[in-house]
Structure 1
Amino acid sequence: MRTLNLGILAHVDAGKTSLTERLLHAAGIIDEVGSVDAGSTRTDTLDLERRRGITIKSAVVSFALGGTAVNLIDTPGHPDFIAEVERVLNLLDGAVLVVSAVEGVQAQTRVLYRALRRLGVPTLVFVNKIDRAGARTHSLVRDLAAKLDPAMVAMDAVTAPGTAAAESRPRERDTAFDEDLLDALLDDELLEAHLANADASPTASGMSHVAHDAALASAFTARVAQARAHPVHFGSAITGAGIVSLVEGIRRFLPGSDGDADGPLSGTVFKVERGPAGERIAYARLFSGAVAVRDRIAVGDGRQAKVTGISVFEDGVDRPRPRAEAGRIAKLRGLGEVPIGDAIGRPPKLRTEHFLRPALETVVLPANEHDRPALHTALTQLAEQDPLIGLRHDETRRELSVSLYGEVQKEVIGATLAEEHGLEVEFRESTVICVERVVGTGAAAEVIAKAPNPFLATVGLRIEPAPGPAVDFRLGVELGSMPLAFFKAVEETVHDALREGLHGWQVEGAVVTMTRSGYWARQSSAHGGFDKSMSSTAGDFRNLVPLVLMAALREAGTVVCEPLHRFRIELPAADLGGVLAALAKLRAVPEPPELDHGRCTLEGTLPAGAVHGLGQRLPGLTSGEGVLESVFERHEPVSGPVPSRPRTGANPLDREAYLLAVARRVTGD
């Protein structure tokens, strides 16, 4: 059976989870449509999701659509949980992007559509809430074309929009519909055929009309499968209007996956949860091959694990099965401490779309000091489920910090710790996460058995700027000049050490080249035993690299950069002056406003740390009518005092203190 892994994506409150419920009802999986407000939806399973009425974790539910098994993946819409969406995008065969007929294209809509387009995921648009007051149809299609992609084609006609009686039916095949298809296709041959058919008499060219219509429909279907055109369906997830047409669109336009079940095993882990006994359960998409209970399979970098249990998604639930094949999403037990992102079997070639790392962080403090060890354990488990939480442990101050996309995520973490782990916590005020960028070239080296180097290793490193955020490690010495394990230790330690630069922020955009290497081969004492005092180990390189790298980085220099967001504010024109004054205090850089019939649209850039404050002040400045959207745009050097972040461990910029900390770590004191 063909499998379609289908993502439902949207800006928060566009009705994504309600649409999921309606699709499950249409497929006969549920007898009654659940309500987000009542907390009775199938995919929002967490108590916190049901209470808050938002999706926090991605969820998988399945149903059959003709001869296709659909794995429907409901994703969070709130931007604070964009990491959940990122992990799902690589799995999708197709997507439905939900847009509210009232609010239209919103900030998160743009972010999600750009990601889907870059990844080439075939996408349908579903305009929801046509029954709500203020619902738009024709003008909304124009907005979709202007703000997302010109190749948007309305597939439905809506009657009585904005009323409880709103209905949606497939459009009739007429000249206007054909012209919309041609505008999306931009195909000269089809355009010429269309014009010729328009001039021909029905009796003389009836068959050519039929052939032309078929060719036009076929070309549009092919273009949708290539993610170069997008059908737009209209309806209401609450009333069920337009759902039949949407289901037909999914069946018709979205191609599924036909993975080779007889090929080599290849898959990826995109979600991890804990079972009743605390065991890890890995959600994996299988792209090729098959896996069975009791199979020993390669996981991650090649370690072997024995599969002890398999569940696959069928008919709205996950069912235990002895085997899962290519194309399916399976829950696998027995893979040990498997993290999100690990490969199953042969690493698949994934389309990758990386959203920005979280821009904020906060210190988490236990209400009861005795709960500090339990808090560390609980946050470690949360970081397993969301690696971008970025747990940091400041050993000196005995403080735990987590990364955040926004204040809502902070509230969710606090509620999760209280409800699932019985821990009451407090949060310090959120601060902005900056980065450091290398501005020059620096080099340093320390030689074995030559003061002041206390380690049995020779390491020379050069660091220089590079475009983009990545850190690239290169060898400027021969690969055979020392054991491969020592080179690996150097490379891993370079990446670890650059998580905290000269000012404590992660260093990005750099090339690090190893310019010198050296070691002492394994030596034995007089009695034939291994003599550590005369033999280099990987530990010598791991301990020496931070000293050499920070010396090179100090010579090169870094600049601290803060994240900037692009903002868009819609507000009454009469309130523009007050909003501009507030933006000036927040170090925003607004562009010339656009005025239209008493309304104003204002765009510009704003430091990420000021976004939350602006969102709180805007209602008061605009009598509740201002609407703020913001997305990350770039990092820029900070103005004013350079912020620093405390280091979490031994500081290689302070040589004496660093060597003392290493000595204590080695001896266990």
Structure 2
Amino acid sequence: MLSHTPSLNLGILAHVDAGKTSLTERLLHAAGVIDAPGSVDEGSTQTDSLALERRRGITIKSAVVSFPIGPPGDRVTVNLIDTPGHPDFIAEVERALGVLDGAVLVVSAVEGVQAQTRILLRTLRRLGIPTLIFVNKIDRGGARFDATLRQITQRLTPAAPAMGTVHGIGTRQARALPHGPGDDGFRRRLAEVLAEQDDELLGAYVEGASVPYRRLIRGLSEQTRACLVHPVFFGSAVTGAGVSPLMDGIRTLLPRVREGGGRGPLSGTVFKVERGGAGEKIAYVRMFSGALRVRERVPVGRVPGGPDGSAYASGRLVGERGADREPGHGPYESKVTAVEVFHEGAVERRSEVRAGEIAKVWGLGEVRIGDWVGEARKDSPDAHFAPPTLETVVVPGTETDRGALHLALAQLAEQDPLIGLRQDDVRGEVYLSLYGEVQKEVIQTTLAEEFGLDVAFRETTTICVERPVGVGHGYEKDLPPFLGTVGLRVEPAPPGSGVAFGLEVELGSMPYAFFKAVEETVHETLGQGLRGWRVLDCKVTMTHSGYWPRQSHAHATFDKSMSSTARDFRQLTPLVLMDALRGAGTRVEEPVHHVRLDLPADALSPVLSLLGRLRAVPGTPEIRGAVCSVEAEIPAASLHRLGQLLPGLTRGEGVVESSFAGYRPVTGEPPARPRTDHNPLHRKEYLLVVTRLR
């Protein structure tokens, strides 16, 4: 049996181009896993495996690599996850955060604290992920020690003690020197930071008593693991300066997961899915408890709650008395056919994977990102990254096979569940939802290089949503050609509650399959409201039901023309639901972002004027000497334009930080989106099409 050392699943996060992939290479080299660090510029890094990643020098897909740190008696196996830094790939970051035990946030000593850096640390703190800060590029011209540390304490967190100092900063000979027990200034500053959260230390500090260095380090470790303090290390991923102290900090200050011998219930989560050479699915699974063994059949299922927060995604059908039941699409079983565990820079075939480890798993044929294996975690962290707010139409080239294109896009969406596909069968078009223009380029290049498909895209548009504003009713009984009765009521629900389906009729009043058909069709139909946008936050209640029982001729042959089928309810429900939605009315809302702009004070007036032109709603500016900051809510459609124009108004000194803030009502004429269904809003045409299809 293999001996299992304590493990740590570590994330490397940063604003784009801060040097996190270079730091990954340096850590692997320092751990003895690779002979020499790879170069982002030369495209020779271990974790950037995609051709486009190597060409552009950015990380697009999360990558996992393992290495040991520490002496034999105190060794920790680090599973390092190198995540993207570009905002267009924030979905990749989101999935990585759910499996981390700790993180290293990389800051550039030249550029300082950047917009994405702030967003990432706020998210790490909210999710309770212990984080160290590594200030990179101390060997570059323009690197700053005091100014960068001041930015960290002012813009990120005041509880950020520097764990060392730098000699020769800004030169190739820059060295990072760690503080030690003999550094009285460091001990004093560390005691000040820790005393904010430690009453015992506070008392000793106030009384002027000397606190033992070992006590300070123990307190630092405890508060770091509790996400109260974020120690700061300085160094260079290129020269290796300061990497050794950082590795000591990773080993001693971040939490470890100790191997439990496979005890406890099986519980893991899938954070990445890729395809093997034969097209088979390979799931990346982080194990939280128990053991996942080859040749065993394991339950796999969806975590409650979908991307729209709908109650339907949790798999519950709510009856009139509030009771719930499973609608028949719960977890399924799959047989694990192979397991590979990340170990010391490589992957090794194993017979099992245990708690704390990350493995590549074969055999989970229907698996999707976000699925749980075994039992779902009850304490799973809640990620609050923005949904995609942009959409484009994929235009196939003249030689591109449309069937192959749709299959390829489905595989890409399978690997990234926040990429949405809408198939317009009427026009023969495919709509793709995404985060930004860089992501569009990545998808285009991936389709060309991996699938041999030539595509272009139409102009990117903003994805709006609809919300009901009143109560509406719809009812149809035995409307030809349908054999069935459906009555529905639509009403608003609290923001963020998603779409809930309930019953005011007896569950036994007709076969359960017919209720299931109505429920599923309700959720599918609400993907397009009165103006074509997805409908959020509403409650749909079935108020009437009826069906024709199974009819047979005298010779006992079933006659479906005299009997209700699930198809009757699937085709009738859209008409009834749209009647109810029309009665309730909907309000179109556009996505908005909360932005914070830091800029020179003398540029405030033109920037406020720009915000007005971009339909932003600014708050009260905060002026601090020669600099100021202003917060605002801005439509997602205007965010890209703000980023383009801000540098010219601020002499290149303006910085914008944004985060998704929800939706707000559209002013003026609400936009509409072309429908991709048979349009139940046009009753006559809908009936003609449905009748022809029966």
The question of a shared fold, defined as TM-score above 0.5 by the shorter chain, is answered with: yes
Where do residues 34-113 of structure 1 align in structure 2 (5 Å cutoff)?
34-66=38-70, 67-113=75-121
The answer to whether residue 246 in structure 2 is matched with residue 246 in structure 1 is yes
CA contact (8 A) 2:99 2:286 kept: yes
CA contact (8 A) 1:104 1:140 kept: yes
Helix, strand or coil at the partner of 1:136: coil
Instruction: Return the alpha-carbon distance in structure 2 between the equivalents of residues 538 and 19 of structure 1.
Output: 57
Give deviations 1:431-468, integer Å, cap 9, x for gaps: 11111122222232334x3x468242434333223222
Helix, strand or coil at the partner of 1:387: coil
1:331 to partner: Cα distance: 1.1
Instruction: Return the alpha-carbon distance in structure 2 between the equivalents of residues 105 and 514 of structure 1.
Output: 53
User: Which residue, 312, 318, 341 being the options, matches 1:312?
Assistant: 341
Give deviations 1:555-590, integer Å, cap 9, x for gaps: 111111112223344555665555555444322344
The answer to whether residue 115 in structure 2 is matched with residue 119 in structure 1 is no
1:597 to partner: Cα distance: 6.6
| Gap change, CA 1:179 and 1:618, over 3 Å in 2 | closer
CA contact (8 A) 2:135 2:235 kept: yes
| Gap change, CA 1:371 and 1:220, over 3 Å in 2 | same
Where do residues 311-330 of structure 1 align in structure 2 (5 Å cutoff)?
311-330=340-359
**One-letter code aligned to 2:157:** D
**Which residue pairs with 1:234 in the alignment?**
234
**Which residue pairs with 2:169 in the alignment?**
161
Give deviations 1:236-261, integer Å, cap 9, x for gaps: 11121111111111111111223641
Helix, strand or coil at the partner of 1:291: strand
The answer to whether residue 40 in structure 2 is matched with residue 32 in structure 1 is no
Instruction: Return the alpha-carbon distance in structure 2 between the equivalents of residues 415 and 454 of structure 1.
Output: 47
**One-letter code aligned to 2:23:** L
**One-letter code aligned to 1:335:** L
The answer to whether residue 187 in structure 2 is matched with residue 177 in structure 1 is yes
**One-letter code aligned to 2:517:** A
**One-letter code aligned to 1:470:** G
| Gap change, CA 1:573 and 1:256, over 3 Å in 2 | same
CA contact (8 A) 1:442 1:464 kept: no
CA contact (8 A) 2:596 2:658 kept: yes
1:304 to partner: Cα distance: 2.4
Helix, strand or coil at the partner of 2:161: strand
Q: Percent identity of the aligned residues?
A: 59
**Which residue pairs with 1:205 in the alignment?**
none
| Gap change, CA 1:576 and 1:661, over 3 Å in 2 | same
Instruction: Return the alpha-carbon distance in structure 2 between the equivalents of residues 589 and 132 of structure 1.
Output: 39
Where do residues 267-666 of structure 1 align in structure 2 (5 Å cutoff)?
267-300=268-301, 301-349=330-378, 350-368=380-398, 370-447=400-477, 449=478, 451=479, 454-468=482-496, 470-571=498-599, 578-591=606-619, 601-622=629-650, 624-665=652-693
Give deviations 1:94-119, integer Å, cap 9, x for gaps: 11111222222222222222222222
Instruction: Return the alpha-carbon distance in structure 2 between the equivalents of residues 62 and 227 of structure 1.
Output: 24
1:35 to partner: Cα distance: 0.9
| Gap change, CA 1:146 and 1:527, over 3 Å in 2 | farther
The answer to whether residue 161 in structure 2 is matched with residue 132 in structure 1 is no
| Gap change, CA 1:601 and 1:296, over 3 Å in 2 | same
1:277 to partner: Cα distance: 1.4
| Gap change, CA 1:141 and 1:469, over 3 Å in 2 | farther
**Which residue pairs with 2:206 in the alignment?**
195
**Which residue pairs with 1:21 in the alignment?**
25
Helix, strand or coil at the partner of 2:418: helix
Range 15-24 or range 586-595, more displaced:
586-595
Helix, strand or coil at the partner of 1:43: coil
Range 554-563 or range 182-191, more displaced:
182-191
Instruction: Return the alpha-carbon distance in structure 2 between the equivalents of residues 536 and 149 of structure 1.
Output: 64
Instruction: Return the alpha-carbon distance in structure 2 between the equivalents of residues 279 and 224 of structure 1.
Output: 41
CA contact (8 A) 2:162 2:232 kept: yes
| Gap change, CA 1:352 and 1:596, over 3 Å in 2 | closer
1:479 to partner: Cα distance: 4.0
Helix, strand or coil at the partner of 1:565: strand
CA contact (8 A) 1:7 1:94 kept: yes
Give deviations 1:631-658, integer Å, cap 9, x for gaps: 3223211122211111111212122222
**Which residue pairs with 2:313 in the alignment?**
none
| Gap change, CA 1:219 and 1:570, over 3 Å in 2 | closer
**What are the ranges of 5 or more consecutive residues in structure 2 without an aligned counterpart?**
302-329
**One-letter code aligned to 2:272:** K
Instruction: Return the alpha-carbon distance in structure 2 between the equivalents of residues 191 and 624 of structure 1.
Output: 43
1:471 to partner: Cα distance: 2.1
**Which residue pairs with 1:263 in the alignment?**
264
Instruction: Return the alpha-carbon distance in structure 1 between the equivalents of residues 221 and 381 of structure 2.
Output: 22
Instruction: Return the alpha-carbon distance in structure 1 between the equivalents of residues 23 and 565 of structure 2.
Output: 58
Give deviations 1:331-374, integer Å, cap 9, x for gaps: 11222232212222222332221311111111110121653222
Helix, strand or coil at the partner of 2:393: strand
CA contact (8 A) 2:29 2:35 kept: yes
1:290 to partner: Cα distance: 1.9
Instruction: Return the alpha-carbon distance in structure 2 between the equivalents of residues 636 and 550 of structure 1.
Output: 23
Instruction: Return the alpha-carbon distance in structure 1 between the equivalents of residues 517 and 148 of structure 2.
Output: 56
TM-score (norm 2): 0.88
**One-letter code aligned to 1:186:** Q
TM-score (norm 1): 0.91
Instruction: Return the alpha-carbon distance in structure 1 between the equivalents of residues 187 and 557 of structure 2.
Output: 84
1:596 to partner: Cα distance: 6.2
CA contact (8 A) 1:391 1:401 kept: yes
| Gap change, CA 1:51 and 1:148, over 3 Å in 2 | same
Range 619-628 or range 49-58, more displaced:
619-628
**One-letter code aligned to 2:661:** E
Helix, strand or coil at the partner of 1:375: helix
Instruction: Return the alpha-carbon distance in structure 2 between the equivalents of residues 299 and 108 of structure 1.
Output: 34
CA contact (8 A) 1:571 1:600 kept: yes
**One-letter code aligned to 1:279:** E
| Gap change, CA 1:157 and 1:575, over 3 Å in 2 | same
Instruction: Return the alpha-carbon distance in structure 2 between the equivalents of residues 288 and 529 of structure 1.
Output: 54
Helix, strand or coil at the partner of 1:152: coil
Instruction: Return the alpha-carbon distance in structure 1 between the equivalents of residues 368 and 229 of structure 2.
Output: 36
**One-letter code aligned to 1:183:** V
1:497 to partner: Cα distance: 1.6
Helix, strand or coil at the partner of 2:484: coil
1:480 to partner: Cα distance: 4.2
Give deviations 1:72-103, integer Å, cap 9, x for gaps: 00000000000111111111111111122222
1:622 to partner: Cα distance: 5.0
Instruction: Return the alpha-carbon distance in structure 2 between the equivalents of residues 609 and 579 of structure 1.
Output: 18
CA contact (8 A) 1:463 1:552 kept: no
1:521 to partner: Cα distance: 4.4
Instruction: Return the alpha-carbon distance in structure 2 between the equivalents of residues 176 and 237 of structure 1.
Output: 24
Instruction: Return the alpha-carbon distance in structure 2 between the equivalents of residues 284 and 661 of structure 1.
Output: 45
**One-letter code aligned to 1:401:** Y
